[in-house]
Amino acid sequence: MFFRRLNWNVVGWFRIVSGISYAVILVGVASMVFHWVTTGEPLRLGLSFTGGTDVTVKFSQPAERDAIVKALTGIGVTDGQVNTLTKPGEPVGERYTIETQRDFGNNSGPLWTALGSVAQVDRGQSSISAVGPSLSHEYLLNAIEALVIAISIQFVYIAFRFGWNYIFGLVTIVALLRDSAMMIGIYSIANKRVDDAFLAAVLTVIGYSVMDTIVILDRIRENSKLMAGDPFEKIVNTSILQTMTRSVNTLATVVITLVALLAFGGASLQNFAFALLVGICSGGYHSIFYSAPLVAVFQKRFGRAAALRRASLEQPRTVAEARAQAKNEADRAEILAARKARKERDRESAQRGGALPRYRKRREEPEYLEPEPEPVRRSEPEIDPLDAQQLGHHERDYELGHEEIRLNLDAGDVPRAPESSTPGAAPHETPHGG
């Protein structure tokens, strides 16, 4: 969580980080050229690659290194590398390792005689191993083939793992090649022996570097969805800071173990620990400060190249294509202008207080349904008037529907008409409907 709070622009440091890597690689190349001129070999290859004899000798009493070199020169060994090997509880100078490209596998008698002239040799604790030149040549070719196959398979897997994103695969391969070049350069500067332990360390470093790089690339892919709309460089920088704590903690744990192995291990383990220490530090440095920013650099370059390619394809090649393209551009400009004018009208309408027009969904007209037929009203059967009179219907209907209306003419100033029985006089009582 510490690095997430930092406002570091790791992507902006890409040129500085790349410059440091190039400087180390160039110094290593210069060292290999110097060794090639002086010794005839760019690297100090071990016997596994060149062939020869590897001897571990234990004397019963301490012996001088110069005396051992003089004894080897007496039997014609001029390229022997004599190194002191010490173990806890033993005096210094009793155990040595001798490497020479001369093959003593089938005839080791002169070698033991020369060493016995320096001091008494404990043959029970001494050993000798020889590698032929043909076997060493085949071993070197197999090592190079293993490296090429491992890098190729990792490129395909990473591209497939990230949805065939070749930028991520290319970044990983470039980082691996740079790690290998830096590791070889530092080995040449330190004049360390390149043997099978070195090859095992290189393969281990390749796996570690890829693992650390994939963690950062996976976080970049996740943040590309969560931070959609932000610049890609900001997404990459945020992803680096989010995963830097995990990367640094893992690197520190491995480095502590390798430093302890380098300080207290034997000669063969020290060479292996040195190779791992150089490779893992280089891999962690590149995965954090080089590989992830390189994604942003490639994304920018490939995007610019794609834009230039599209622009070149859009260039008209004939007069007819030029006219068609001009017409399409004019139509597009007209559509954009109409759209802009409509937005301006809507904005002005909103400022005046009017609500923006809303598009209502058109209601579907119901299907035409035929009206249901009205129920047939049954009429009452006709009754004969005489039968109705006998049944009393006439008096009932008269009482229900025929009422007398009596007019009161006494109200107000209206004089009351005298009653008269004259036939032409109007009666004062008029039955309704009479």
Same domain for 8 and 147? yes
Residue at 425 is within a domain? no
Residue at 94 is within a domain? yes
Give the list of residues 6+ apart from residue 94 with CB closer than 8 angstroms, or none.
58, 59, 60, 61, 62, 63
Give the closest residue to 256 by CA, choosing from 277, 279, 242. 277
Residue 8 pLDDT class (50, 70, 90 cuts): confident
Looking at the predicted structure, is the pLDDT value of residue 163 above 90? Answer: no
Distances (CA, A) of 409 to 18, 406, 416, 430, 431: 126, 9, 6, 13, 15
Give the list of residues 6+ apart from residue 103 with CB closer than 8 angstroms, or none.
51, 52, 53, 130, 132
Residue at 332 is within a domain? no
Residue at 250 is within a domain? yes
State residue 428's pLDDT score: 46
| CATH number of the domain to which 256 belongs | 1.20.1640.10
Both tokens assigned to 314: 């859009």
Give the closest residue to 158 by CA, choosing from 211, 208, 202, 203. 211
User: What tens digit of pLDDT does each residue of 95-116 get?
Assistant: 888 888 777 767 778 888 888 8
Same domain for 171 and 303? yes
State residue 182's pLDDT score: 86
Same domain for 160 and 174? yes
User: What tens digit of pLDDT does each residue of 411-425 get?
Assistant: 554 455 444 444 444
Domain end marker among 290, 310, 330: 310
User: What tens digit of pLDDT does each residue of 115-136 get?
Assistant: 888 888 888 888 888 776 665 6
| CATH number of the domain to which 119 belongs | 3.30.70.3220
User: What tens digit of pLDDT does each residue of 254-270 get?
Assistant: 899 889 888 887 666 77
Residue 121 DSSP class: B
Percent of the chain with pLDDT over 70: 74
Same domain for 146 and 202? yes
Residue at 87 is within a domain? yes
Q: Within a 10 A sphere around the Cβ of 174, how many other Cβ atoms?
A: 15
Looking at the predicted structure, is the pLDDT value of residue 363 above 70? Answer: no
Same domain for 139 and 235? yes
- Average pLDDT in the 292-318 region? 72
Same domain for 80 and 189? no
Same domain for 117 and 64? yes
Residue at 430 is within a domain? no
Give the closest residue to 84 by CA, choosing from 267, 276, 219, 264. 267
Q: Is pTM, for the whole model, over 0.85?
A: no
Under the phi-then-psi rule, with left for phi > 0, alpha for psi from -120 to 50, and beta for the rest, what region is 8?
beta
Same domain for 115 and 142? no
Both tokens assigned to 378: 């049954």
Domain end marker among 100, 131, 162: 131
| Element holding 97 (H helix, E strand) | strand 95-100
Looking at the predicted structure, is the pLDDT value of residue 184 above 50? Answer: yes
Pairwise pLDDT comparison (77 vs 388), residue with the higher score: 77
Looking at the predicted structure, is the pLDDT value of residue 377 above 80? Answer: no
Domain end marker among 260, 278, 310: 310
Same domain for 97 and 225? no
State residue 26's pLDDT score: 92
State residue 422's pLDDT score: 45
Identify each DSSP E strand in 135-247 by its residue range.
Answer: 193-194
User: How many structural domains does the chain have?
Assistant: 2
Residue showing tokens 């005298």: 418
Question: 291: domain range?
Answer: 3-42+135-310
Same domain for 194 and 175? yes
Residue at 362 is within a domain? no
Same domain for 97 and 195? no
Residue at 93 is within a domain? yes
Same domain for 167 and 272? yes
